[in-house]
Structure 1
Amino acid sequence: MILFALPNKGRISEPVMKILEKAGLKITIQGRSLFANTVDKDIKVMFARARDIPEFVADGVADIGVTGYDLVLERGVENKVEELLDFGFGFARLVLAVPEDSNINNLDDIKEGMRVATEFPHLTKKFFEKFNKNVEIIELSGATEIAPFIGIADIISDLTSTGTTLKLNKLREIAEIVKSTTRLIANKESLKDKKKKEKIEQVVLAIKSALYAEKKRLIMMNAPEDKVEDIKKIIPGMSGPTVAKVLSDNGMVAIQVVVDEKDIFSLVPKLHQLGARDILVLPIERIL
């Protein structure tokens, strides 16, 4: 059996659960339990803080886990775990920011002994060491944005995705420490176990198929047979469209093809102009 550590809350928890559902790894949660079963009797889930998951996986408490790349680096376990998959969402950046009216505009303006408030002391310290900056790191467990305004710090090191929160709190960015997305990581010893590795690879394949399918759509339509070649030119699909005769409608064929979601808006009018009708655009759960 493998133990799969998942975030119990936070910004990446819900999208991760949705992807696992699409991947077919249905999780049965009972109340506020820290553990849950899945449709696979050999995969059990443990819910934990995203911040703790990197260490749980590195220490072998869990075989695999989902967390932010920033947290893997903050815990200092990037060389102790194996990264299996980048989900491509949960994007955020750890940045340095100061009040809008601060005299600090870049790294050169940061003087020795200045105070930096953060929930990421390890990453922040390493960043300043790289630039030979001797600053005082003040670790906070939340509400980092307020630190400069109550005299706790001159600078903050905090996560941002759009920059909106910084602006709302009258802060401006002066430097970027690291970019982060949601990752699937594994315990290196677990990957050495043949049976565990096989099960972990099944999980990776299932998630990859769900992530890939999210960006695709299935188009189904009826179209004039003499327009098939023209239609193929605008929707080549993954391996070309599937074409079948429509027995009840003379001169028409049924076409289905998988295309990128981003192309749907421009494709449908073109198909309609070529005589396609009964056009259906459907979501896809998984693509292998």
Structure 2
Amino acid sequence: MKIAVPNKGRLHEPTLELLDRAGLAVESGADRQLYANTVDPDVTVLFARAADIPEYVADGAADVGITGYDQHRESRVEGVTELLDLGFGSCRLVLAAPEDGRITAPEDVEGLTVATEFPNVTEDYFAEQGIDVEVVEVTGATELTPHVEMADAIVDITSTGTTLRVNRLEVVDEVLDSSVRLFARDDVAGDEKVRQVETALNSVLAANGKRYVMLNAPESKLDAVEDVLPGLDGPTVMDVEGEDAVAVHAVVEERDVFETVSKLKDVGASGILVTEIERLVE
């Protein structure tokens, strides 16, 4: 099975790190090649431009792909199924126009020119609203086009809005919310290996922000401990051989660990151990 991943840019390293955490580490230094092996002999990584990955998957060059939802929408490819939101690379495509200008709503762009690196997404957005515009495709510095009279407004990616403000542009409307997703070709989406990859990646996401707590407590204090540690489906409780005590294990939210440990001590727990969780299959 081939997985297409971004070959460079802001999505490259986070994608390789996610694969590593999921148990599909890519061979060291292999990201300079077109193909690379992983620790699983049945899984190969294909490095490609993020924008090309949906096409690679649809055409069969790869079975699954990891890229932004914005790239998938821009490609307009068919026969590709989204399997999983991987939770990183978040950004927005927005309609923006010069500050203090005449464009304050999408309908104000009627009959005007919009510059963008995402012409298909932009055309779809305005078509859905019944607004007629001229879309001009650019390959960079989109935010400059209104100031050099190339366009009246732009559709561009923003994360914090800083670049727009620096260029005296303000958001008029949100066009698309995007993050990095796992996609598969329709005819292989249900295959066992694809499902294994999906489960492995999802287990990493499920473990994010959680910690594993282990402790010992007198059996008489078990109810109080359980009140502090509800866990995912209630804590796991095991007898401690030869002692009037139990061992309790539970998964807790990382943000709750500090307070939880204090409460556990107050109800008589001892030997409290908190560890990170690499993967969690729910």
TM over 0.5: yes
1:218 corresponds to which of 206, 212, 221: 212
2:67 maps to 1:71:
no
Task: Mark the CA change 1:164 to 1:268 in structure 2 (over 3 Å): closer, same or farther.
Answer: farther
Q: Report 1:189-208 matches (<5 A).
A: 189-191=187-189, 197-208=191-202
1:29–1:37 contact (8 Å) kept in structure 2: no
Q: For residues 170-190 of structure 1, what are the alpha-carbon distances to aligned partners after superposition, in whole Å with 9 as ceiling and x for unaligned?
A: 221101111112111112233
Q: For residues 144-191 of structure 1, what are the alpha-carbon distances to aligned partners after superposition, in whole Å with 9 as ceiling and x for unaligned?
A: 122222222111101122323322332211011111121111122334
- How many angstroms apart in 2 are the aligned matches of 1:148 and 1:117? 8
2:259 maps to 1:266:
yes
- Name the % identity: 48
Q: What is the Cα deviation at residue 240 of structure 1? A: 2.4
2:88 maps to 1:95:
no
Give the AA of the match of 1:157.
Answer: V
- How many angstroms apart in 2 are the aligned matches of 1:236 and 1:71? 41
Q: What is the DSSP-based 3-state SS (H/G/I as helix, E as strand, rest coil) of the residue aligned with 2:40? A: coil
2:249 maps to 1:287:
no
Give the AA of the match of 2:138.
Answer: L
Name which of structure 1's ranges 41-50 and 146-155 shifts more when overlaid on structure 2. Answer: 146-155
- Counterpart residue number, 2:104: 105
2:226 corresponds to which of 229, 232, 235: 232
- How many angstroms apart in 2 are the aligned matches of 1:224 and 1:167? 60
Q: For residues 85-122 of structure 1, what are the alpha-carbon distances to aligned partners after superposition, in whole Å with 9 as ceiling and x for unaligned?
A: 1213322211101122322111232241x221111001
Name which of structure 1's ranges 265-274 and 16-25 shifts more when overlaid on structure 2. Answer: 265-274
Q: What is the Cα deviation at residue 48 of structure 1? A: 0.8
- How many angstroms apart in 1 are the aligned matches of 2:212 and 2:9? 32
Number of residue pairs matched by the alignment: 280
2:51 maps to 1:58:
no
Name which of structure 1's ranges 14-23 and 250-259 shifts more when overlaid on structure 2. Answer: 250-259
Q: What is the Cα deviation at residue 242 of structure 1? A: 2.8
Give the AA of the match of 1:75.
Answer: S
2:159 corresponds to which of 152, 161, 170: 161
Q: What is the Cα deviation at residue 125 of structure 1? A: 1.1
Q: What is the DSSP-based 3-state SS (H/G/I as helix, E as strand, rest coil) of the residue aligned with 2:50? A: coil
- Counterpart residue number, 1:186: 184
- How many angstroms apart in 2 are the aligned matches of 1:267 and 1:168? 44
CA-based RMSD of the aligned residues comes to 2.1
2:109–2:153 contact (8 Å) kept in structure 1: no
- How many angstroms apart in 2 are the aligned matches of 1:276 and 1:190? 49
2:105–2:173 contact (8 Å) kept in structure 1: yes
- Counterpart residue number, 2:171: 173
1:218–1:258 contact (8 Å) kept in structure 2: yes
2:189–2:195 contact (8 Å) kept in structure 1: no
Length-normalised TM-score, structure 2: 0.91
1:25–1:39 contact (8 Å) kept in structure 2: yes
1:68–1:90 contact (8 Å) kept in structure 2: yes
- Counterpart residue number, 1:209: 203
2:115 corresponds to which of 109, 114, 117: 117
1:29–1:36 contact (8 Å) kept in structure 2: no
Give the AA of the match of 2:164.
Answer: L
2:269 maps to 1:276:
yes
- How many angstroms apart in 1 are the aligned matches of 2:199 and 2:251? 20
- How many angstroms apart in 2 are the aligned matches of 1:142 and 1:274? 60
